[in-house]
Structure 1
Amino acid sequence: MGLVASLYDDMFPPKSKFSVDDIPDLSGKVAIVTGSSAGIGVETVKALLIHNAKVYMANRSEEKTAPIIKKLKEETGKEAIFLKLDLANLRAVKQAAAEYLSKENQLHMLFNAGVMVPPIGKVTDDGYDLQFGTNVLGHYFLTTQLLPVLVATARATGKPSRVINTSSNGHRLAKTIDFKTLKDGPQRIKKGEANLYAQSKLGNILFANELARQYGDQGIVSTSAHPGTLRTELQRDVSTVQMVLIGWLLHPAEKGALTQLWAGTMPETESYNGEYLSAWARIVKPNAASQDPALAKKLWDWMEEQVAGI
């Protein structure tokens, strides 16, 4: 799918054949939803709770998450659990995984979210570009720290554990990963927020595909998902002019949860390892760069080097 066709597809996606009402009973299932203090994340948690899953809301701020947990309990009768997670700090990511593993010996679903076009001056605590460091490297480290429990859960249940990585059709603007721009410096600044965002979304797909290749035979189903063009807090750093230009293209946030819920809960998606999914709940073809196994392996190896010794 080319860029123009992709834009049209975002504006006018076909009606979804999947509804949250189709989700099966999730009693006994445990999920982690990162970036779940607003928008798609909250809608995802709500749907999972309604269908009886045990859900950890992995966010930076307990103060911001607490009222959401309270509201969701009022709406669903079920109480989500806060898990402190700062994806922009690799040591904090490791601590979050350890905290989870101290409480649980199962993990059936891991939903990985991200950030969008923050000011160019923002970097992670470890000096990485904030978008790549959060969207790709932080989620890589969280996922790999949780791989033992994901694999063990798949073996114990005889059903795959799902890892769903939030990408975007913005990945189509990136032709490769420029490794010289992943840490702070003049080359990163020159690349600009929008190109850094597109690169991080390409990185999401490459990571998801490499995870599928390396761990598919151990019971992991790894997908990447474009949630649609949505009105969410992701646009908090977008200018007023940009919002006026793109606002009429955006869909409600609750629709954005459909694709990742479909990927994470439905029986038919158990066989979708390595697929790229789009609005609303369907498989589409991503750009060619995202399907390059050599680039995916190079990225995986780079990320492995970054977290060594943490």
Structure 2
Amino acid sequence: MGLVYSLYTETFPPRSKFTSDDIPDLSGKVIIVTGGNSGIGKETAKALLAHNAKVYIAARNPERVKQAIDDLKQQTGKEAIFLPLDLSDLHSVKAAAEEFNGKEKELHVLFNNAGVMMPPIDMLTAQGYDLQFGTNVLGHFYFTKLLIPALLAGAKSSPDGVARVVNTSSSASLLTSDVDFNTLTDTEARKKKSSINLYWQSKLGNVLFANELNRRYRDQGIVATSLNPGNIDSNLQRYMHWFSYTVFSFMLYPASYGALTQLWAGTSAEGANMGGQYLIPWARTSQGNVAGKDPVLAGELWKWMEEKVQAYE
């Protein structure tokens, strides 16, 4: 009953009490949005630019990002900055972080928004990890790790004393209770899993990563949250079978709705005190999956990720 109720309330949320008009002036704030060239990320970047933030759009396709930056400039009068980033390649992740750190000393908000859902099972990252876990979790972990000094500096310069990391998860995080480390590389165990099961696992990974990051760095000023942005119509569904998408489409909302919860976490005064929380549509808190709060599992995942990125540092 608890799971059914949670899925229902996250799929059919009440009207939001938070809107983009509630975002405070963000002058002087430096913010990164991964996957900010489309969907929820683009709507997030739009709202941030409209409130005077300096916004980096971290994504992999230069042509699409250029088009997004042009669109956003027309809509807001402000120009975002392109940061080349392919989360499925740890070399690219390192290069992106180094480029940012070479330009900026402070980072005030990091929206780990980009993601991939249900690709063909044979698709892997450049380093041979499951594409969904490697992109959604490991890539974001490494990117965040390399930006910790900038986040700590951003926290020191902020009036509220915090910098924020906002991980975009999903209601799919409710549908699994563990991370099977044997399925994170191209193993026989992974091949026996369905793409949707691997997606659920990656979305739980987003929650675990946020909670462990918050545990490790909250006392130094980094507040980390995870969230379900809602069922949003975006290119995230590009790998879905047409029939499944047709059925699912009746439960989809515009991308502007999907940006609300992460903007609430990343910009509101309340967001400074949301560390370790799981947020749901639209701009509400929830208990989330009890597995996501497991410090042992989160610690094991953190250790696994540390080991995997160590060779690239």
Match status 1:32 vs 2:32? yes
1:54-73 counterparts in 2 under 5 A?
A: 54-73=54-73
TM superposition shift of 1:309: 2.2
User: Structure 2 CA distance, aligned partners of 1:171 and 1:55?
Assistant: 28
Deviation, structure 1 residue 253: 1.1
Query: After superposition, where does 1:30-179 map in structure 2 within 5 Å?
Result: 30-113=30-113, 114-158=115-159, 159-179=161-181
The alpha carbon displacement at 1:282 in A equals 0.7
User: Aligned residue for 1:16?
Assistant: 16
Q: Give, in whole Å, the separation in 2 of the partners of 1:141 and 1:249.
A: 33
Structure 2 gap segments, 5+ residues each: none
Per-residue CA deviations over 1:182-227 (Å, capped at 9, x if unaligned) read 0112211111100000000000000000000000000000000100
Deviations 1:18-74 (A, max 9, x none): 000000000000100001121000000000000000000000011111011011101
1:185 to 178, 187, 192: 187
Query: CA-atom RMSD, angstroms?
Result: 1.0
Secondary structure of 1:191's aligned partner: coil
Letter in 1 for 2:188: P
How far off its partner does 1:6 sit? 2.4
State the Cα distance separating 1:242 from its structure 2 match.
Answer: 0.3
- The count of aligned residue pairs is 310
| Mean CA deviation greater in 243-252 or 81-90 | 243-252
Letter of the 1:116 partner, please give it: M
Note the C-alpha offset of 1:178.
0.2
Letter in 1 for 2:155: A
Name the SS of the counterpart of 1:70 in structure 2.
helix
In structure 2, C-alpha distance between the alignment counterparts of 1:11 and 1:300, rounded to whole Å: 30
CA deviations over 1:78-100 (Å, ceiling 9, x no partner): 00000000000011101100000
1:5 aligns with 2:8: no
> Offset at 1:12?
1.7
**Aligned equivalents of 1:309, 1:251: Cα separation in 2:** 41
The runs of 5 or more residues in structure 1 that have no matched partner are none
Within 2, Cα distance between the matches of 1:70 and 1:175? Answer: 42
Kindly, what percent of the aligned residue pairs are identical?
56
User: How far apart are the structure 1 equivalents of 2:173 and 2:31?
Assistant: 26
1:267 corresponding residue in structure 2: 269
Contact 2:37-2:69 within 8 A present in 1 as well:
no
Deviation string, structure 1 residues 94-117 (Cα, Å, up to 9, x no partner) = 110000011111110100021111
Q: How far apart, in 1, do the equivalents of 2:3 and 2:196 lie?
A: 15
Contact 2:107 2:150 in 1 (8 A): yes
CA distance in 2, matches of 1:4, 1:255: 22
TM-score, normalised to structure 1's length?
0.98
